[in-house]
Amino acid sequence: MRRFMVVLFLLVLAPLALQAQPGRAIKLQATRNTRDVGGLPVSDGTVRKGMLYRSGALCFLTGQDVNRMRELELKTILDLRNASEIRKDGPDRPALTDGVRVLHLPMANSRGVRREAYHYYIRENPQVWRGFYAELGRAQAYPMLFHCSAGKDRTGILTAVLLEQLGAERKVVLDDYLQSVRNSPGLEVHPEWIQEVFDHVDANGGASAFLLKSGVSLQTQQAVRDLLVERKVP
């Protein structure tokens, strides 16, 4: 039954959700997986637009891309790549990061690829959750962008947990996760991969409880919610 519902979502519901959020993509030449997290529905409202962006690595940006990204007026960039990835592909473009607070929060897994990698990513990186939320809770950190290499796996995991903590329905979280392959058909993401994250979060009592166990206080979680959620007008 679960597999049937996933197929139904991919064929019917996901395209409809995509049509409802046509303006989130940041169109660039060097990556097709940069987008605003803003506009997604959460409990009591939506994520504020122009505050938080997710992306693939910014080391390959063209000059035109840099100019487009400068329009976002970023204050903070969080790089989830490890040191070997940065040595191989290079740091984010200095033309973009000049004057921007750049923090490295390497997110690693002890073994595995694809679905197995997700199993360990969500279990082995409490320091990433603490660092991520420390920045999310600072009003001065926005607008903010966070990224890994392709912007789909590690970035997708952080986005999924954040959206759940903000009160997004799971179908919204899954749709945003699958948006990566719609942005860039050469990328690969699968519902069963992110299900590893959902299962672990559920086993820990939900996103808020999972974050609390990772060292993110309830006060910080509330501060993030206050900063990122644009509440519905009664």
CATH number at residue 119: 3.90.190.10
Which pLDDT score is estimated for 16? 43
For residue 1, tell me if it sits in a domain: no
Print the domain residue range for 225: 30-229
The residues, any chain, with a CB within 8 Å of residue 178's CB and separated by 6 or more, are 10, 14, 189, 191
C-alpha angle with apex 159: 32 to 190, nearest 5 degrees?
65
pLDDT in tens, the chain (234 residues): 444 444 444 444 444 444 345 468 888 988 889 999 999 999 989 999 999 999 999 999 999 999 999 999 999 999 999 999 999 999 999 888 889 999 999 999 988 889 999 999 999 999 999 999 999 999 999 999 999 999 999 999 999 999 999 999 999 999 999 999 888 888 899 999 999 999 999 999 999 999 999 999 999 999 999 999 998 776
Integer CA distances (angstroms), 128 to 21, 82, 105, 207, in order? 29, 12, 6, 15
Which pLDDT score is estimated for 129? 98
For residue 78, tell me if it sits in a domain: yes
The total of structural domains in the chain comes to 1
For residue 134, tell me if it sits in a domain: yes
For residue 23, tell me if it sits in a domain: no
Segment (H or E) for 102: strand 101-104
Question: Which residue bears the tokens 């299962």?
Answer: 199
Which pLDDT score is estimated for 156? 97
Segment (H or E) for 233: none
Integer CA distances (angstroms), 158 to 101, 121, 161, 173, 234, in order? 19, 10, 5, 11, 31
CA pair distance 104, 78, nearest whole angstrom: 6
For residue 7, tell me if it sits in a domain: no
For residue 42, tell me if it sits in a domain: yes
For residue 211, tell me if it sits in a domain: yes
For residue 141, tell me if it sits in a domain: yes
